[in-house]
Amino acid sequence: MTIEIKVPTLGESVTTATIGKWLKQPGDSVAADEPVVELETDKVSVEVAAPSAGRLGAHAVAEGDEVAVGAVLTTVEAGAGAAPAAKPAPAAAKPAEVEAAPAPVPVAAPPAETDYDVIVIGAGPGGYVCAIRAAQLGFKVACVEKRATLGGTCLNVGCIPSKALLQSSENFHAAGHDYAGHGILIDSVRLDLKRMMARKAEVVDANVKGVEFLFKKNKVTWLKGFGTLEGTGRVTVDGKTVTAKHIVIASGSDSAGLPGVEVDEKVIVTSTGALELSAVPKKLVVIGGGVIGLELGSVWHRLGAEVTVVEYLDRLVPGTDGEIAKQFQRVLTRQGLQFKLGHKVTKAEKTGKGVTLTVEPAAGGKAETLDADIVLLAIGRTAASKGMGLEEAGVALDKRGRIVTDAHYATSVPGVYAIGDVIAGPMLAHKAEDEGVAIAEILARQAGHVNYDAIPGVVYTWPEVATVGRTEEELKDAGVTYKTGKFPFTANGRARAMGMTDGFVKVLADAATDKVLGVHIIGPGAGELIAEATLAMEFGASSEDIARTCHAHPTLSEAVKEAALDVEKRAIHI
């Protein structure tokens, strides 16, 4: 039987592609799913695979030709001269630290008939989005989740509950400190922590039930239990074997531990315990000056705790632009948070009154002790890759316990893929979501793609910190010549009206081409404002493109426009 190989769907706005390279020649034997030609668009390089094993027919188009979506590229005579499958070559950019996947190890052949087309292990943002997108594409999908609710760490004990408490604590603080300046006098502001925690639980419940509704709407089967990989095409869920043509691991991450600090989630807590405290601690020590520590430290500080942050490095929020980090520390210090930067915690002793921490300078020096009612350990997260049978099944892990994948999210075991926190790259819910969509589309032979140069990050403190693209330090280290534009919120009319003038917007653009290389914001609404910058970078915009785009007045977004104008030193309002 002769089967046509056509140009696949390459995205909603992409109608044509260019033949980059023929990977197989007429008469060659090919295996099912073996790449035969490479297509190029202005955004991605896509390999088109043979739909069936057989012998390749004549090329209908030549290298360099432009072809439309749906056009015939070649044919394959099914069953004639079949060859063993070859592993796809990388075709899309991944983060720099991603390692190349090793050659596949010998594993059992996939079952001839399967229970599902796709099984996703893990129902966090990466997993549940992958499952839904795969179902939209026509696959029969199941998602394995061990929790009693869907949504993973993010919706249950991470992103969503922390943002609920951040908003509630922000409102509490504003009522006691800021409203008088607006002519709103409140004689007595009291904290009902029990009600605040109940509201947080209501927000979480609504979100996780929303995911369950989406599963039902898209006919995704929820396999309740702990998933263990048995090899190509096979997963056991609490001892029961289920099969699939494709398996996607989206198991997420766990809180990182620290020698000498034993977590009990009562007086020494991770982010999970910090979201469930029954009383406001008098003294809270946060180990780690990253996103999680500063967000939860801010929550309890607003509610009345004395907060000290101990950070091993000499700065906060590693990876953010240095100028932003310095301003961030100054603002948080003014708010009353205390910092011990360049220090490490070597021991935590529980006492009848709380915890005594032993703290030493990171560079060496005299130790001291800090007493706390509660200690929050927030030094980062580690890939949740243990206890799932991955290594036993032949899945390669790197030295940090992350699953090693190629640019198509394929692991060292054929038919098994991985996305999200369990692989290399920033541990962000939205990064995992985009990867979930990408792998579902790749499995459907579409052009699934993630632009890792345009993934924003946000710290939801007050003020917020948001960043996308490269920092000034990274550009200097890479030897890139660049221009800088900045604009403070003190000069923004909307920020003045809101009484929220801390911070600024910073735009970094290539000195020769003016292409935006990075945007960094500290100030009100930074997490929303960064979306404009991310869109600009996704489409390769210049700072002038942003500057010449009309922004509504008065809005905070005008600060982004003015910072873009300042790249050429022609800002209007400063």
Distance CA 374, CA 300 (A): 11
The one catalytic residue in 59, 177, 430, 553 is 553
Greatest Cα pair distance, the chain, in angstroms, is: 86
Cβ burial of 226 (10 Å; 0-12, 13-18, 19+) is: middle
Helix, strand, coil content of the chain in percent (nearest 5): 30, 30, 45
State which amino acid sits at residue 197.
M
CB 141 within 8 A of CB 120: yes
Cα–Cα distances in angstroms (integers) from residue 408 to residues 46, 100, 412, in the given order: 10, 11, 12
What is the DSSP-derived secondary structure letter of residue 556? Answer: T
116: part of which helix (H) or strand (E)? Answer: strand 116-121
Distance CA 306, CA 300 (A): 8
DSSP strand pairing (234-237 vs 240-249): antiparallel
Active site residue 449: no
Cα 488 vs. chain centroid, distance in angstroms? 28
HSE at residue 271, side-chain half, CA atoms within 13 A, is: 29
Distance CA 276, CA 329 (A): 27
Cα–Cα distances in angstroms (integers) from residue 352 to residues 194, 293, 349, in the given order: 25, 25, 10
- Helix axes of 322-335 and 291-302: crossing angle, nearest 10 degrees: 20
Distance CA 84, CA 274 (A): 53
Angle at 247 between CA 241 and CA 250, to 5 degrees: 110
The DSSP line for 14-71 is --EEEEEEESS-TT-EE-TT-EEEEEE-SS-EEEEE-SSSEEE---SS-TT-EEETT-
The residues pairing with 521 across neighbouring beta strands, listed in sequence order, are: 466, 505
Task: Determine the straight-line distance between the first and last CA of the chain, rounded to whole angstroms.
Answer: 71
531: part of which helix (H) or strand (E)? Answer: helix 526-538
The catalytic residues are 553
